[in-house]
Chains A and B, each alone.
Chain A
Amino acid sequence: MAADSTPAIVASHFSDADNQETAATLGMWIFLATEVLFFGVLFAGYAVTRLIHPEAFGNGGRHTDVLLGSINTAILLTSSLTMGLAVRASSVGWRRSSVTWLTLSAILGVAFLVIKGYEWYHESLEGLLPGPGFDYSGPDVPGVELFFFLYFTMTGAHAVHLSIGILVVASVAVLAARDKFSADYHTPVVLTGLYWHFIDVVWIFLYPLFYLVSRS
């Protein structure tokens, strides 16, 4: 259903709506670039530490819950689909559709966090939380502890970003429900979509590194 065209509110320092939209989009891409470098440090740390402790990483990788991890991957990928559909709906001015797809994306995000939390809880019960309580009875305990250190740090950083994403998606859904967007102006939905897809891409790299290593 096409909503009535809500014109963009153009801030006074921009020359026109197009100028404002391009600026906002460019800003989001630059922000995503900073996030790549932010996570990049952790991936570099993983690479180096794995070179030092190859067997430990294999052993550690067999202690993560590959079923739950795979389900979570499916959930997140689906949420990217729903997000894409939300952006599409918004771009043609379909208010009700966009609200539905945005809400679904947020719900899927929450589902991911619930399952992740459940995994972490069980891993901590097994004594796999790095620190004083770490309890592993195999070879190369330091190496396995480092594997789990990286596991909790990287999935934790991802979860923080996902939580922020869920809040943003929910807020944008509320704004969409209040008819703030139209085919002419839906930049916030597009930017939220970019961020959401980025979080998904990070997970696509995390999943094999922590769940699939040494499971062939």
Chain B
Amino acid sequence: MTSITANGGPSYISAGYTLRSWLTTRDHKRIALLYLVSILFFFVIAAVAAAMIRIELLTPAGDLVDDDTYNKLFTVHGVVMVWFFLIPSIPATFGNFLIPLMIGAKDVAFPRLNLASWYVYTLGGLFVVGTLIAGGVDTGWTFYTPYTTMFSNSHVIAAVTGVFIVGFSSIFTGLNFIVTVHQMRAPGMTWFRLPLFVWAHYATSLVMVLATPVLAMTLALIAIERLLGVGIFDPALGGDPLLFQHLFWFYSHPAVYIMILPAMGVVSEVIACFARKPIFGYRFMVYSLLAIAAVGFMVWGHHMFVSGQSMYAGMVFSLLSFLVAIPSAIKVFNWTATLYKGSIHFDAPMLYALGFIGLFMMGGITGIWLAALAADVHLTDTYFVVAHFHYIMVGGAVMAFFAALHFWWPKVTGRLYPDGWARAGAIVMFVGFNLTFFPQYIAGFLGMPRRYHAYPDEFQVLNVLSSGGAVVLGVGYLLPLLYLGWSLRRGRLAGANPWGATGLEWQTPSPPPPDNFASPPRVEGPPYAYHAEQAAGDSHGR
């Protein structure tokens, strides 16, 4: 990595090399890197679980692992991917790194709270790793009662404690971001001059802060019910299992918006830069982000259409679920419109962003299928749902994470990576992803239930296709690891603004100095001051 900035002072990396300087840092950029390393660690754990699942599913019989082990594998895959990878992925790494830079501030509002959030994340992670070592948990990431409270013989309390703890990491991050955006903007940076990345994280933070406490208390009640044998979720004890489902999904549906809103913010930044055009319909994009966050709190019952919930409640949740799709549709149309009469470059970040749009559309449109009551009756609890959410979370959020990684890598590390390999990686990931998950839509329609260790023979062809695709997808994940790692030592020096992008983060050296800016920037105009008609023919204005 680069060690000195243009003005000769230290960068945030070279400002201290000891382990202690990293573990006691208050610098949002260092905290972002701490998170990056941690989430990669958990991604690997969950990916190994996924690999074992896909290998097991090559054959209809359950012959690789036994029933209980399989159930533990899909549980650890879900728990770790949702809470230890996807939810922190973009906000805790790129959000932390970039938000102060993008608004022209020196740091977030509460730097010590920021560091505390990482320690809390790590503590929660230790509980989950401990649960794994002790033998795992087999309830599914959804922890439905009364199975979880009264019947499972696995380490439920340790697992829910880990998730309870990591939830506070989310709450601290969200609280920090909200106050930062309100209070720390540079002079001239009005609300409607904020980059959409910042707006996206603001909306995400509202959801994080309001939804996560509900999960925390609900999981605490699970632990108490299991410990004491008394509780409000078990009908044998006079309680109601549907109460658990309502409370769980009241958090877990907004949670999926926590996972996708930051991704949408990334995509807006990348598309504007590589089309050399302001994002079409900036205000509509802002209102869409906020609308998704707000309406996202009102649709949780669409996970419960066949649960025994009343038919009329189902109709209300169905209608609201259709409505929440509208702002997402607006975003897709606006990104497309941004390309119109742009000057489009196909660098790796752009390939990932375009891949996001395609895959998010496919995942999102199948969400419409599932919002339709009669269709959901057939499709719920099958592989159709599994395909739907993987299209959004992996095809969407993870691709956007890689877009962010490739777009801001030069800023974070001061190094460039090899173009050709990066573009190849994006294409391999896109192809591998579709091969893995498209067959699952079909398997679901044909009736293959989810969480099935063994399945009837007629589903084997689709499962083999899916597992084969997973190999390609795995290669797509490994490639960036290799060439990005290589670039840390051998990559060309990046300079402050290798992409010719607008945005305050590009007006400071790569990597930035500890205090971000030599002098506080002043903002004069709206974001995305790109000019496609002038840029036609140039290469990024480097």
A132-B229, A146-B232 are known contacts. Are A34 and B107 too (CB-CB below 8 A)? no
**B353 at interface (Cβ–Cβ under 8 A)?**
no
Q: Mostly helix, strand, loop or mixed at chain B's interface?
A: helix
Whether, in the assembled complex, A27 has its beta carbon less than 8 Å from a beta carbon of chain B, the answer is: yes
Asked whether, in the complex, the Cβ of A38 is within 8 Å of the Cβ of B239, the reply is no
Minimum Cβ distance to chain A for residue B204 (Å): 14
Distance to closest chain A CB from B299 (angstroms): 17
A145 engages B238 (CB within 8 Å): yes
Stretch of B177-185, B418-426, B494-502, B532-540 at the chain-chain interface: B177-185
Is A127 located at the chain interface by the 8 A CB criterion?
no
Count residues of chain A with CB under 8 A from any CB of chain B: 37
Contacts known (A13-B106, A31-B175, A33-B209); A42 close to B217, Cβ less than 8 A: yes
CB neighbours (8 Å) of A22 from chain B are: 182-183
Cross-chain contact A13 with B179 (CB below 8 angstroms): no
Q: Does A23 contact B105, Cβ atoms closer than 8 Å?
A: no
A23 to B182, CA, bound (A): 8
**Is A27 in contact with B110, judged by CB distance below 8 angstroms?**
yes
B224: chain A residues at CB < 8 Å are: 153
Asked if B150 is at the interface of the complex by the 8 Å CB criterion, the answer is no
Type the 1/0 row for B380-423, where 1 means its CB is closer than 8 Å to any CB of A. 00000000000000000000000000000000000000000000
- Residues of chain B in range 244-298 having any CB-CB distance to chain A below 8 Å: 246-247
Interface status of A149 (Cβ within 8 A of chain B): yes
Q: Are A26 and B178 in contact (CB under 8 A)?
A: yes
Q: Give B357-383 as 1s and 0s: 1 = Cβ < 8 Å from A's Cβ atoms.
A: 000000000000000000000000000
Contact (A45, B221) CB under 8 Å given A30-B178, A52-B240, A130-B230:
yes
Question: Chain B 210-252 against A: per-residue CB contact (8 Å), 1 yes, 0 no?
Answer: 1111101110010010001111100001111001001100000
Nearest opposing residue in chain A for B516, CB measure: A13
Contact with B along A88-104 (1 / 0, CB 8 A): 00000000000000000
Closest Cβ–Cβ distance, residue B202 to chain A (whole Å): 12
Q: A176 → chain B, closest Cβ, in Å?
A: 22
Contact B213 A13 (CB under 8 A): no
Contact pattern, A 19-56, Cβ under 8 Å of B = 1, otherwise 0:
10011001100110111011111101100110011000
> Are A131 and B232 interface neighbours, CB within 8 A?
no
Q: Considering the chains assembled together, what is the distance between the CA atoms of A37 and B107 in angstroms? A: 28
Please give me the residue from chain A that is nearest to B224 by CB atom.
Answer: A153
Tell me whether A149 and B230 are in contact in the complex, defined as CB-CB below 8 angstroms, given that A33-B210, A34-B212 are known contacts. Answer: yes
B residues within 8 A CB of A137? none
- B108 nearest CB neighbor, chain A only: A13
Task: Select which of B110, B182, B216 is within 8 A of A38 by beta carbon.
Answer: B216
**B116, chain A: closest CB distance, angstroms:** 13
A143 adjacent to chain B (CB < 8 Å):
yes
A27 to B179, CA, bound (A): 6
CB of A146 within 8 A of CB of B213, answer: no
Q: Is A48 touching B232 in the complex (CB atoms < 8 A)?
A: yes
What are 22 contact pairs spanning A and B, CB under 8 A?
Answer: A13-B105, A13-B107, A13-B184, A23-B183, A26-B179, A26-B182, A33-B209, A34-B213, A37-B210, A37-B213, A39-B217, A40-B217, A41-B214, A41-B218, A41-B247, A45-B243, A49-B243, A131-B228, A142-B238, A145-B230, A149-B232, A150-B232
What is B's interface to A at a CB cutoff of 8 Å?
105-111, 171, 175, 178-179, 182-184, 209-214, 216-218, 221, 224, 228-232, 237-240, 243, 246-247
Which residues of chain A have a CB within 8 Å of any CB of chain B? 12-14, 19, 22-23, 26-27, 30-31, 33-35, 37-42, 44-45, 48-49, 52-53, 130-132, 134, 140, 142-143, 145-146, 149-150, 153
